[in-house]
Structure 1
Amino acid sequence: MNNPLQDPGFLRNPYPVFAALRSTSPVQELPGGGGRSSYLVTGHAEARAAFTDPRLSKDTAAFFAGKDTGRNLHPAVSRSMLATDPPRHTRLRSLVTKAFTPGAVARLRPYIARVTDELLDAWVPGEPTDAIAGLAVPLPVTVICQLLGVPATDRAAVRTWSNELFAAGRPERIDAASHAVAGYLAELVEAKRRTPGDSLLDDLIRARDGGDRLSEDELVSLAVLLLVAGHETTTNLIGNGLLALLRTPDSLHRLRDEPDLVDAAVEELLRFDSPVSTATFRFATEDMTLGGTGIPAGSPVLIAPGAANRDPARFPAPDRLDLDRDTRGHLAFGHGIHHCLGAPLARAEAAIAFRRVATRFPRLRLASPGAEPQWRHTRLLRGLEALPVLP
């Protein structure tokens, strides 16, 4: 049995593969390495249930204990908050939640708008520009680095390391990037101890040094997670969303003429081409049944938000972009206790970016409408390498 997720065409367009799998069963057994199967969840109801099922653990340290994986991931990456269960997950999340509340994000909106406008000032009407390099990457990178107190001179390196962490099929590059970004943040923590500031990272250092149940390893791990996850999803949301809008010009024109539609547009764009194709690792802690499929204890379970958000049982005509759609219940940010912590920030950045682009560049179009976009080589995320446009 071949694994359809390994097909080269999957990275270009995973949705036909997801639809074909889901039409057979909402939970599919896939061949894995070492003779161990994994299970892919493509149905919306089943994915929503899986996100909250306590029998599915995210404790990767427990799963890989005693196994020779041949990998050299830095523990700050392999044992991040994303790879924990309660009560440890609850404790770690509580230390950073306040930085991403709607109120905290609202206070950031003027800064986000200013950064967006500064980036768009470089777009020259009629001259080709890459919307990924010119907006989708630098906007969220700048915002999360500002929030964490990462110096501007280091932000290009941060983006490079982050991109390498998701290089599908290239474990040596992923491992090297994990050590690079963890080492950098450990050094930044020490620098901030010597010269304290008022960033989120400074707050976490004070929590650690004040004995607030945060170890040094957990401090660095949280910093890595916030830095990487704090921009990757938003970069893909902005890039994928712009491509979808440019391919359906009526939607882009509506966004220009009805700016108050932007929040609804963000939700539909999240659903339509989800920035996270397959959620991070889980495994069954006991024999279980999901979507009519038996899953043996110890089996990896992959939940696919990108597939669930195109399930016609939940979203009629799911392959059509519809800014008037009822998008409630989409799973682009996950569900349950691991629901994306930075979702309010991602939504704010995307809404500001889409509104500014639509109003400032009413003639925006694809530079090469017939060309196949170049997608990032990663199965976890769904995002573009580049998006050439004509402002």
Structure 2
Amino acid sequence: MPAPVQLPFEQRHPMQPAPLLRELQASSPIHAIRTAVGDPAWLVTGYEEVRQLLDDDRLGRAHREPERASRTGESAMFGGPLGDFDTEQADHHRMRSLLQPHFSPKRMRALRGRVETLTANLLDDLDAAGPPADLHSALALPLPIAVICELLGVPFADRGQFRQWTQAAADTTDRARSEQGLAELFGYGQRLVARKRADGDPEADVISRLAATDGVSDDEAAAMGMFLLFAGHETTVTAIGMGTLWLLATPGQWQTLVDDPSRIDAAVEEILRAPRLGGGGIPRYARTDLEVAGVHIRAGDLVLLDTGAANHDRTVFANPDRFDLARPAVPHLTFGHGARYCIGAPLARIELQTVFAQLGARFPTLKLACAVDELTFNTNVLTGGLTALPVTW
């Protein structure tokens, strides 16, 4: 096997794949690599291999010797192992069983009307201010924050604080900043749980219901609540911004959606499949020796499941690097697969469907107000995404 290649791969253009990644992917579904901090790991890029391994209990997030484990980066949240190796699977099952009822189809359907109202209000403000505008600050950022705040029971007025903490916690290059951000976020969650216990309304919101659940400590309710706060807005902020960019920068795609609003579901799935900056793969650690596509992986090895690469596997997606609303439906792996499938996927889809349906109807002449190569991105945080998206109409 050739010598390990070094992450991150050079990406010369935000809307074009990293050439080296595509070369590797064409040669094999698994590759020996070095992470951004120089540690050895395996990068899995094939669709079938990633799909199977996402639901393989021989991989996990914990490590028997965490201090010796390879790291993907400096993030305190996802840079290294998480959890207790001996109880990881039981702990994960318990967490999902506690959270699943709060994201049931019935609860998500009930939330759709509120998402529509919040979106409409933001677009009213956008229209009133007139062009040009920054769609990132006007829509992509405030909407997911407002939605997750209402769902969890987090004061929207605190968004400036917790946004700073989530961005710091997600920093992949500065361990001290990431640890400090995570500590601040957890402390905020503890104070929030204490206030909700004092308020005495266990049905008010998700964090209140978690705090009122038998067997759930205040610290556990705070930790789960802050995890949902992070995961429930960061990724959707990125998806709205990048989705808008793909629609506007790919010839004919925005007009296709404006002319035929029935394509909204297809548009959302293509936005979720489309490539974006950041990533490198979902980190897992081998709990035992295993074989992947003929390659022997030893217990304790770091395995990165690159869902982005898998979503562009040429054996599964024709012309995978083209953004195309007419693409035949094939399940992408953006939300994972199997036992660890993203619990917030239905909420994310509701937000994206609402945003792009209303945006197309209200602003049919929307277009970028700068060249794509003038855009800037958050390259040092887990979720990546745009720092601004200038548009006009």
TM-score, length of structure 1 as denominator length: 0.90
Query: Is 1:40 aligned to residue 43 of structure 2?
Result: yes
What amino acid sits opposite 2:187 in the alignment? G
Which of 161, 165, 169 matches 1:165? 169
Partner of 1:256: 258
Partner of 1:147: 151
Q: What's the CA shift string for 1:322-381, capped at 9, x where partnerless?
A: 212223221010111111100000000001001111111111000013533212114743
Q: Hey, what's the Cα distance between the residues in 1 that align with 2:104 and 2:65?
A: 32
- Report 1:184-333 matches (<5 A): 184-197=188-201, 198-207=204-213, 210-211=214-215, 214-273=216-275, 277-333=279-335
For the Cα contact (< 8 Å) 2:137–2:388, is it kept in 1?
yes
CA-CA distance at 1:3 after TM superposition: 4.1
Residues 295, 39 of structure 1: CA spacing in aligned structure 2 closer, same or farther, 3 A cutoff? same
Residues 9, 317 of structure 1: CA spacing in aligned structure 2 closer, same or farther, 3 A cutoff? closer
Residues 3, 134 of structure 1: CA spacing in aligned structure 2 closer, same or farther, 3 A cutoff? farther
Partner of 2:387: 385
Query: Is 1:27 aligned to residue 30 of structure 2?
Result: yes
CA-CA distance at 1:103 after TM superposition: 2.0
Which of 178, 181, 187 matches 1:183? 187
Residues 21, 378 of structure 1: CA spacing in aligned structure 2 closer, same or farther, 3 A cutoff? farther
CA-CA distance at 1:9 after TM superposition: 3.4
Residues 319, 67 of structure 1: CA spacing in aligned structure 2 closer, same or farther, 3 A cutoff? closer
Any gaps of 5 or more consecutive residues in structure 2?
Answer: none
Q: Hey, what's the Cα distance between the residues in 2 that align with 1:387 and 1:122?
A: 16
* 1:168 aligned counterpart, secondary structure: coil
Query: Is 1:90 aligned to residue 90 of structure 2?
Result: no
- Runs (4+) of structure 1 exceeding 6 A deviation are 66-72
CA-CA distance at 1:215 after TM superposition: 3.4
Q: What's the CA shift string for 1:122-170, capped at 9, x where partnerless?
A: 2247622111111111111110011111112101212221122222212
Partner of 2:131: 127
For the Cα contact (< 8 Å) 1:27–1:40, is it kept in 2?
yes
CA-CA distance at 1:199 after TM superposition: 0.7
Partner of 1:339: 341
Q: Hey, what's the Cα distance between the residues in 1 that align with 2:130 and 2:75?
A: 47
Partner of 1:138: 142
Q: What's the CA shift string for 1:287-317, capped at 9, x where partnerless?
A: 2221222212211011111110011111010
Q: Hey, what's the Cα distance between the residues in 1 that align with 2:8 and 2:74?
A: 20
Partner of 1:111: 114
Query: How many residue pairs were aligned?
Result: 384
Which of 341, 361, 364 matches 1:362? 364
Q: Hey, what's the Cα distance between the residues in 2 that align with 1:39 and 1:379?
A: 21
What amino acid sits opposite 2:111 in the alignment? L
For the Cα contact (< 8 Å) 2:277–2:385, is it kept in 1?
yes
Q: Hey, what's the Cα distance between the residues in 2 that align with 1:339 and 1:74?
A: 18
369-378 or 1-10, which deviates more: 1-10
Residues 72, 235 of structure 1: CA spacing in aligned structure 2 closer, same or farther, 3 A cutoff? closer
For the Cα contact (< 8 Å) 1:73–1:179, is it kept in 2?
no
What amino acid sits opposite 1:47 in the alignment? V
Query: Is 1:53 aligned to residue 56 of structure 2?
Result: yes
Query: Is 1:100 aligned to residue 106 of structure 2?
Result: no
Any gaps of 5 or more consecutive residues in structure 1?
Answer: none
CA-CA distance at 1:272 after TM superposition: 1.5
For the Cα contact (< 8 Å) 1:276–1:332, is it kept in 2?
no
For the Cα contact (< 8 Å) 2:6–2:36, is it kept in 1?
no
CA-CA distance at 1:249 after TM superposition: 4.3
Identity %: 36
Residues 33, 19 of structure 1: CA spacing in aligned structure 2 closer, same or farther, 3 A cutoff? closer
What amino acid sits opposite 1:203 in the alignment? R
* 1:294 aligned counterpart, secondary structure: strand
Residues 315, 163 of structure 1: CA spacing in aligned structure 2 closer, same or farther, 3 A cutoff? same
63-72 or 121-130, which deviates more: 63-72
For the Cα contact (< 8 Å) 2:6–2:38, is it kept in 1?
no
**C-alpha RMSD of matched pairs (Å):** 2.9
* 1:39 aligned counterpart, secondary structure: strand
Q: Hey, what's the Cα distance between the residues in 2 that align with 1:150 and 1:346?
A: 18
TM-score, length of structure 2 as denominator length: 0.89
Residues 34, 248 of structure 1: CA spacing in aligned structure 2 closer, same or farther, 3 A cutoff? closer
Q: What's the CA shift string for 1:178-209, capped at 9, x where partnerless?
A: 011111111111111111331110000000xx
